[in-house]
Structure 1
Amino acid sequence: MTSVFWLLVILLVAFAMSHSRVRSRLKKLEDQQQRTHQRLELLERQAQGDAEQNLAAVADGTEKTPTGKPVESVEPPAVETVAPPEGAPPAEAEKSSSAVKGPPRAFVFTGEVMRQFTQWLRQNWTIALAALSLALGGVFMVQYGVENGLLTPVWRVVGALALGALMIAVGEAIRRRYGDERTASTAALPSVFAGAGLVTLFSAVLAARLLYGLVSPETTLAGLVLVSILAVALGWLYGSVLSAVGIIGATAAPFLVGGESESGWLFFYYFAFIAIAGLAVDSVKRWAWVSAVVLIATSSAATLLYVATGGLIHYTAFLALSWLASVTIPVQSFVPTHAGQTVLATLAGLRPRADFPTRVVAAMTLFVSAAGIYLSLEAPSATEATVAFLLVALVLGATLIWMHRAEALKDIPLLPTAAFLAVLALQAVEYGPLFAQFLAMREAATTPATSFITLALVLSAVASIMAFWRMPRSADDARAALGFALGAATFAPASAFIFQFLWSPAAAFGDYLWSLHILAIAAVMTVLTDRTLRSGDANQRQLRAALFAIAALSMLALALFVVLTQTALTLALGVVVILTIWLDRRFDLALIGIFTKVALAIIAFRLIASPGFFWAVRSTTPWLAFIEAYGGTLALLYVGWRLTVSRARLSVQAAIETATWTIAAVFACALLQRLVPDEPGLLAAVMAIAMLAQINRLPTTGRWLRIFRAALAVLFGLVATALIAVPLTVTNPVLFRLNPVAGPAIFDSLALSYLPLAAVLAIGAWKIDTLGRRLRIAFTCVSSLLAGFYVACEIRRFWRGNDLSVPGVTQPELYSYTIALVIICAVLLLISFSRHSHALRKVAMAATGLTIAKVFLVDISGLEGLLRVVSFIGLGLALAGLGWLDRAMNQRWNRMSDKAETPGEGGDL
């Protein structure tokens, strides 16, 4: 009784609210009718006045309009077919569809749509509750039976089917007589009854199998298909409310019915049929939000079901079916023909936006790709993980081949491409089932250990060929064609690189067999290069061919990396550099210079860092291997440099010159270090070489790479400074007795400590044109100071022996310093004369002044007798000679400048 009482109360409240709304609407209609009547009277009076004026003007033959203008023949305006605006509610969309030729424009979820839906729900909450109550009534009837189980299971299912059919019949009767969304009094009522009937039918079919076991799985599947077909047919006749009720109710029905069954896998196909039914309805109605609701609801339900019960194979089938449906059904074509803007362009802010079917394909492809990655990692076995991987591969192949006519879907292959590579990488990083099986079989030395890697490489090569096939079919869009070329050139090599550096397949294949796999990909890239060069399309042909040539050379280098030893690999890379330069000369492939620079960087890295300088100076390294690595590489680089001289590839020429000089300097330092070990000055020279190499490449690099190179140059410079500080302080033979000089005169440990860095900085200041003036002066000063310190130490060793830390300075030693300074001044003057350098000349004269100051302030105090006379006479002659040389330089430069100002003299007319 209590429940009946509250039910009566609710009905009375609902009746009162409905009566109040009816009265307010009638009042509004009466007011509107009165205003319309007043306007009609006003127009009638104006028409009478205009008629009198026209009668008076008939005699003149110039009939006037009320505004005074002549009457013209006016045709009735053409009715403009206006599509409902995007974001319009379902009712308005269907009202405006009568004035539009073709299907109405689809709308999506926007803030305006949600606001209008909330307003509709606030005004029609009784109808929404009625739909929910009817649907739950049908579901609970199936679950609990009739009258506490008095009916048998068969009659419970029959009763539920009859109830569902009755609800659909009631809805159809109301729709036929009063309509669904056209009359205010019966708006949405037919959809409510029909939607509740569909939910009841779905629940009855599921209960017949899951709760009572009355039918086989095949019969259950057939029943679900029939109900889905009925839902499609009703959705084409009814409004959007039916679609919403049917989709949400049918998706939630299995969770409401409950029960346990061994045929739970049927639910995945059940959800797929719901998705197909909803998309089929929306392909005609073009509501768009129905497609979004059905895909979100079914995908969420299937994912929850998989997480709860498993069944990866059937979940994968659901993903495949729902993805196919999302591609084909909205455009009503088995071959995708999506036109318009791409999703990437829409995300970039370009107008117009991508159409709704295009966005549906992008969203479902993203969902399926992400699901494939997740399933491959969380699969209970390697076989099921392979199935998930094959799903991603099939989607990739379909987006490349099947979607080639869809202009708006040309960016979709990016999603499965990223998923394909992500599966290969994450299997190793996250220790997935495929990688775990590979390790187990590798340890057991069984043949199937390599099967997945071979399969993945074959699929990646096929995908690259598919992308190459798409390349000329996108000739109208240069960016798309270049994108497919880039994908074809990088996809298969990227898979090989992932396997090489994350899976270590050579341990299972063996070095030679694994290198054959890599060379097979190199062969595919070579064929694609040849096909590109032979193609008739000259648009960007050289650029695309260069991409494939770089891919082939990369695979060749990787195969060499697998097979060859350290030294042989370095030499092989030198051969690859020569090959790339020859290809550029032969086919004019400018882009291949990028690969040349990368190969040069790898060679320099190997000979400087890893194994590099430390390998070269190690006592266990054979002299033959050391000479082969550095000498052979320098010979190959020289050949490559000779090839670049006759070709205007200035950036490549600069790169090979930088690499050659860098490797040659490291080779010289390593050779000296092997002869005389434990000299940090040599390491400082190596760091200085690396610093100058980065500085030399700054003008030929982009903005961000220039910043990176500048940072590297600063880092190398700081390391060189720290290293050279050791022989200047801690191991300085002048400061500490424990550091005697070793080796023969001139070519001793002093030379190894100070001369290499001084020579590197001097050559850098001389040869590198990109150095700034201040940096050039700084390098010259540091180089001069190091060289001067070396000369001073050699003079002291000549007079005092190997221990330079002994106290005091003898007179011969002191005078030797003066002679050295005089010689340096003369050399500086000669160099300044040959180079016409006023700055260097000033430096030479300043050094001369310092020499004179030294003589008069230091040397004169220790000289006596004839030695003093000879010394001053010699110094005077030397200074006189320097003065004469300076004056002669001045006169010569003045004559040269005067001759340059008067070019007409001497018969040069």
Structure 2
Amino acid sequence: MELLWLLVLGLAITVFFQHRRLKRIEARLDGLNRPATSPAEKAEPPLPVQAPPPILPHEGGGDAPPKPAIPHDSDSSSPPPPPVGEGWGGGPPAQQLPPPKGPTLADRFTLWLRDNWILAIAAASLALAGVFFVQYGVERGLLPPPVRVLAALAFGLGLVFTGERLRLRHGDHAGLWHSIPSTLSAAGIVSLFAAILAARHLYGLIGPLPTFAGLTATAVLALILGWRHTPLLGAAGLIGATAAPFLVGGSADNSDPLYAYFALIAATGLAVDSLRRWAWMSVLALALATVAGLALQTAGAGGTGLALLLITLTALAAAIPERGILLRTQGPGLVASGQSRKNPPFPVLLALGMGIVTALTLAALPAPDAGTDMALFTLLALAVPVFALWTYRAPGLVELALPFALAFVARLGISPDNSLGLHAALWPVLDARAQDGAVALPLTYALPFIGTALIALGLWITGRRKGALSHSALSSLLPPLALALIGQHWWPDTLLGQPLWAGILLGFAAFHTLQASDAASDAEPRRRMAWAAVAALVLIAYAAAVLFSETALTLALAALLAATAAIDRRFRLPELGWLVQAGVVVLGLRLTFDPGLFWAYDAPLAQLLLAWGGALAGAGAALYLIAAMDRPAPRLMLETFLAASTAILADVLIFRWLDSLALPDEGIHWGLTLLSLPWIVIMAVQFRRATLPGPMAVVRRLLGWVAGLIGLAGLLLAVTLANPLVWGEWVGRWPLFNTLIVAYGLPGLALFLLSRPGWMPRRLAFVLRWFGLFLMAHWSLLEIRRFWHGPYIPLPFVEQAELYSYTLWLMALGAGLLWLSIRRGSAAYRKVAMGVIGLTIAKVFLLDASGLTGLTRVAAFLGLGLSLVGLALLNRWAAERSGKGGGGEGRQDLPRDEV
């Protein structure tokens, strides 16, 4: 079965490369048939006719001299190999027309198969002849096993010798003998592989080491033959040499040396490509070595050896195409090519592609022990500055260090999930520290910090290049991200102590400050300086969060917010505006959630005023500093933060004041309202900030709806179940200045003022406006009841004078709404006013008529009649004003009020 698969693979390679040969021939024929000049070229001076260079120079003859008898052999007309750095770009040379669009791949394969099917069958037949010769000997028992193997080897060598003789005599690329020498040599190589494998697996004549040596020698022979005249045998040699260790069988105690063997094979394939310009040879060599290394590691070899193999392959992919240690690879990198829409040259794609594969593999490679994990961290950390320095003068490979930095940061977050890795060695120390035990930290714990420092240094070197600004952004982003992952998963505050951990963070902040100073000489817009300054400020804030208490941290963040605005005003760095917005969000979260309002309700008053006052002062200073700058988003964030924080602080102070009084009851009605108002403020702030463009607008609207639902639900509870009319709580002895205005009057006024359509959706503004009016009306009714009943106002007892007071209040409310409808030209207010008047009439006839007696009843109906006459006249006047035609003022205001 192994022989059959080997044969199928050889036939597939044969078909592929014969197709490539046909493609080259068609390209040459198209070049010969093309007119010397095109109509567009008639106005230009004529250029000498030049045939397009062959795709594979020196493909046919290699070092052998061309034969005079074959004038059309490609060996005699091929130009010398292009200089280093050329030939892989994929585009035509300068001053040449692009090749015409030829037939499709399927058409070319069909054409080749139609003309050369005999050669394909001949190659398969010759290869099968060698295989079946061995099989026949087994079935018949005619020859002893050693003789059968030797005969198969002689048959294969004979085919190779015959193919070489024919190639030297007649060539391999034109004429009557076209492709026949390559066919014979390929069949001979397959026969040699089959004979060696038969000696090992069928007869057991040789052990693993001789089998390995024989397969390797056959692969080397194929590489030499392919180097001389055809890529077909070169590919067969690479595949055979890579598959040899897996085909010999046997076992070994230590298979790690095979990693070096695979690296040598890859170097050989890259060297062939460097001389012959067969780009696919480099890709095939790197792919085979990578797959073989992964298979070897899966079979039980060490992960450290695989990491060394992959990094070595990356270095070889960068160096061998340049034919030197000092890299000078030209051309745009991946980021620059994406911006300029220009394809990078093949050496750049080869090296960066191998680097990305290596980084992804090392980031996700499992570590069965702490040693392997430590080796992976070390190799990734060292690779960043080494590749950054090595590629410093190679513009095309400036990005080669970036994948390894990303892999290191990713591994910082992945490694803690691996219970057998380096992270597991810290668990006993953490357990001992939890039990007040004195256990020293292992030295390996310094590896994440040293590695972060190394990647910061390497990224700084990469970011100083005059390349894409994204490199500088990563040099400022990845080190703080790595430190954040260390703080989240590696317990530095517990194992190192908060002062030492904060000192490390400040040390990295100093490094980014130095980086910002180095970038200060850049031309506008000085983005490198901005990103480095942002990284330094973020790390300073992180150190403050580690080191300071709740109040001190809030003050430090407020000072940092003001300092960020000052730096932005001094240097005009737009990225600092983003940091101002982030600082506003962080301060808002600290004041409302962590430590939040519950801390504010219970903390000492001095600490509360210091924390909230410092936050407001820092935000106010930042707003003052950027007021004259073109920073609409930071200004809006600061304005809403100041307004919301002031309102919430007033709410908290009122709550604390009422809670400190020796009230007879718990105060559920005003407590629910004061707890709900911050959510209403947060809702208004989020909807106001949602007016800013960007992807966060949807998130802010969602947060606004959630906060609004929570706040409105609390207010509804305060009006219904927690209402003093139902609960019977103490409301205060003083008129107006009591718990009712805190629970209903001021919240209703706040909702009415917040219901501006520019701040929130129109329907929500409509709900808030009328709910606010309802709360104020409810407060005034409860104040009337408190006036007649004192501090306790539970239902159901109602006095006669109280009923008349309600009637007068309703009439006044209707008149006020009618006046408001006239002032604003709103038909909606007039309709509500008439509804209130109708409710007043119903109250008088249904309630007052049965509850009032004597002169009180007379006064009630007399006042009602006179009031209704006046209100009827007022309503008619309001209807006439609101019904005016043309562009009256009332008509213009109507859509705004009928939200």
Query: Same-fold call, TM > 0.5?
Result: yes
The correspondence for 1:671, drawn from 638, 643, 653, is: 653
Matched, 1:558 2:549: no
Does structure 1 retain, via aligned residues, the 8 Å contact 2:218–2:237? Answer: no
For residues 85 and 164 of structure 1, what CA distance do their matches in structure 2 show? 28
Matched, 1:760 2:760: no
Shift of 1:688: 0.9
- After superposition, give the CA deviation of every residue in 1:604-662 in whole Å (9 maximum; x if it has no partner): 112112321223234xx333333333233223333333334444533222211211221
Amino acid at match of 2:631: R
Does structure 2 retain, via aligned residues, the 8 Å contact 1:606–1:612? Answer: yes
For residues 112 and 418 of structure 1, what CA distance do their matches in structure 2 show? 44
For residues 560 and 47 of structure 2, what CA distance do their matches in structure 1 show? 78
Shift of 1:252: 1.7
- 2:685 is aligned to 693
Shift of 1:881: 12
The correspondence for 1:81, drawn from 27, 52, 56, is: 52
The correspondence for 2:770, drawn from 758, 781, 806, is: 781
For residues 787 and 73 of structure 2, what CA distance do their matches in structure 1 show? 107
For residues 213 and 243 of structure 1, what CA distance do their matches in structure 2 show? 24
Matched, 1:380 2:362: no
Shift of 1:487: 0.9
**Aligned pairs for 1:527-538 within 5 A:** 527-533=514-520, 535=521, 537-538=522-523
- 1:468 is aligned to 463
Q: CA RMSD in A?
A: 5.0
- After superposition, give the CA deviation of every residue in 1:482-509 in whole Å (9 maximum; x if it has no partner): 2112111101111111111222211111
The correspondence for 2:579, drawn from 567, 570, 595, is: 595
Matched, 1:719 2:706: no
For residues 309 and 515 of structure 1, what CA distance do their matches in structure 2 show? 42
Does structure 2 retain, via aligned residues, the 8 Å contact 1:196–1:246? Answer: no
- 1:35 is aligned to none
Does structure 1 retain, via aligned residues, the 8 Å contact 2:558–2:619? Answer: yes
- 2:440 is aligned to 446
Shift of 1:600: 0.8
Over the matched positions of the two proteins, sequence identity in percent amounts to 26
For residues 754 and 434 of structure 1, what CA distance do their matches in structure 2 show? 60
- 1:906 is aligned to none
For residues 278 and 740 of structure 2, what CA distance do their matches in structure 1 show? 87
Shift of 1:258: 2.8
For residues 115 and 870 of structure 1, what CA distance do their matches in structure 2 show? 107
- After superposition, give the CA deviation of every residue in 1:661-718 in whole Å (9 maximum; x if it has no partner): 212222222333333464222232121111100111122231x211111111112222
The correspondence for 1:489, drawn from 472, 476, 480, is: 476
Shift of 1:765: 2.8
- After superposition, give the CA deviation of every residue in 1:205-248 in whole Å (9 maximum; x if it has no partner): x99xx948899xxxx99x99999987765443121122022111
- 2:296 is aligned to 305
- After superposition, give the CA deviation of every residue in 1:363-382 in whole Å (9 maximum; x if it has no partner): 3222211221233xx22322
The correspondence for 2:319, drawn from 328, 347, 363, is: 328
Matched, 1:524 2:515: no
Matched, 1:505 2:492: yes
Matched, 1:800 2:789: yes
For residues 248 and 254 of structure 1, what CA distance do their matches in structure 2 show? 11
Query: What secondary structure is seen at the aligned counterpart in 1 of 2:574?
Result: coil
Shift of 1:302: 2.1
Query: What secondary structure is seen at the aligned counterpart in 2 of 1:187?
Result: helix
Amino acid at match of 1:124: A
Query: What secondary structure is seen at the aligned counterpart in 2 of 1:330?
Result: helix
For residues 164 and 273 of structure 1, what CA distance do their matches in structure 2 show? 26
Does structure 2 retain, via aligned residues, the 8 Å contact 1:403–1:410? Answer: yes
**Aligned pairs for 1:629-778 within 5 A:** 629-674=611-656, 675-676=658-659, 678=668, 679-702=671-694, 704-734=695-725, 736=726, 738-745=727-734, 746-755=736-745, 757-765=747-755, 769-771=758-760, 775-778=764-767
- Residues 718, 185 of structure 1: alpha-carbon distance in 2 compared, 3 angstrom cutoff: closer
- Residues 309, 771 of structure 1: alpha-carbon distance in 2 compared, 3 angstrom cutoff: closer
For residues 642 and 839 of structure 1, what CA distance do their matches in structure 2 show? 43
**Aligned pairs for 1:229-308 within 5 A:** 234-262=225-253, 264-308=255-299
- 1:314 is aligned to 305
Q: Which has the higher contact order (CA 8 A, sep 6+)?
A: 2
- Residues 557, 135 of structure 1: alpha-carbon distance in 2 compared, 3 angstrom cutoff: farther
The structure having more radius of gyration, on CA atoms, is 1
- Residues 848, 701 of structure 1: alpha-carbon distance in 2 compared, 3 angstrom cutoff: same
Does structure 1 retain, via aligned residues, the 8 Å contact 2:811–2:867? Answer: no
Does structure 2 retain, via aligned residues, the 8 Å contact 1:81–1:99? Answer: no
Amino acid at match of 2:646: A
- Residues 761, 283 of structure 1: alpha-carbon distance in 2 compared, 3 angstrom cutoff: same
For residues 480 and 285 of structure 2, what CA distance do their matches in structure 1 show? 39
Shift of 1:523: 0.9
- After superposition, give the CA deviation of every residue in 1:380-416 in whole Å (9 maximum; x if it has no partner): 3222222222333344335534334544445555533
The correspondence for 2:359, drawn from 363, 369, 378, is: 369
Matched, 1:540 2:525: yes
Unaligned runs of 5+ in 2: 1-44, 63-71, 92-103, 138-142, 433-438, 660-666, 889-899
- 2:11 is aligned to none
For residues 837 and 316 of structure 2, what CA distance do their matches in structure 1 show? 93
Does structure 1 retain, via aligned residues, the 8 Å contact 2:813–2:833? Answer: no
Amino acid at match of 2:361: A
Shift of 1:170: 6.0
Does structure 2 retain, via aligned residues, the 8 Å contact 1:464–1:487? Answer: yes
Does structure 1 retain, via aligned residues, the 8 Å contact 2:505–2:542? Answer: yes
TM-score, L = length of structure 1:
0.73
For residues 250 and 749 of structure 1, what CA distance do their matches in structure 2 show? 90
The correspondence for 1:429, drawn from 412, 417, 432, is: 417
- After superposition, give the CA deviation of every residue in 1:497-545 in whole Å (9 maximum; x if it has no partner): 1111222211111101011111111111112222222x1x42421x332
Amino acid at match of 2:551: T
- Residues 306, 885 of structure 1: alpha-carbon distance in 2 compared, 3 angstrom cutoff: closer
Amino acid at match of 1:815: Y
For residues 90 and 358 of structure 1, what CA distance do their matches in structure 2 show? 29
Query: What secondary structure is seen at the aligned counterpart in 1 of 2:684?
Result: helix
**Aligned pairs for 1:39-118 within 5 A:** 78-84=49-55, 98=77, 102=81
- Residues 492, 284 of structure 1: alpha-carbon distance in 2 compared, 3 angstrom cutoff: same
- After superposition, give the CA deviation of every residue in 1:843-869 in whole Å (9 maximum; x if it has no partner): 897599569747965657736438955
For residues 132 and 413 of structure 2, what CA distance do their matches in structure 1 show? 48
- 1:613 is aligned to 597
For residues 562 and 484 of structure 1, what CA distance do their matches in structure 2 show? 29
For residues 360 and 387 of structure 2, what CA distance do their matches in structure 1 show? 16
- 1:124 is aligned to 120
Does structure 2 retain, via aligned residues, the 8 Å contact 1:489–1:548? Answer: yes
Shift of 1:590: 2.8
Does structure 2 retain, via aligned residues, the 8 Å contact 1:396–1:463? Answer: yes
For residues 264 and 130 of structure 1, what CA distance do their matches in structure 2 show? 36
Shift of 1:789: 0.7
Does structure 1 retain, via aligned residues, the 8 Å contact 2:588–2:641? Answer: yes
Unaligned runs of 5+ in 1: 1-73, 475-479, 899-909
Shift of 1:782: 1.0
Query: What secondary structure is seen at the aligned counterpart in 2 of 1:700?
Result: coil
For residues 868 and 624 of structure 2, what CA distance do their matches in structure 1 show? 47
Does structure 1 retain, via aligned residues, the 8 Å contact 2:223–2:238? Answer: no
Matched, 1:790 2:772: no
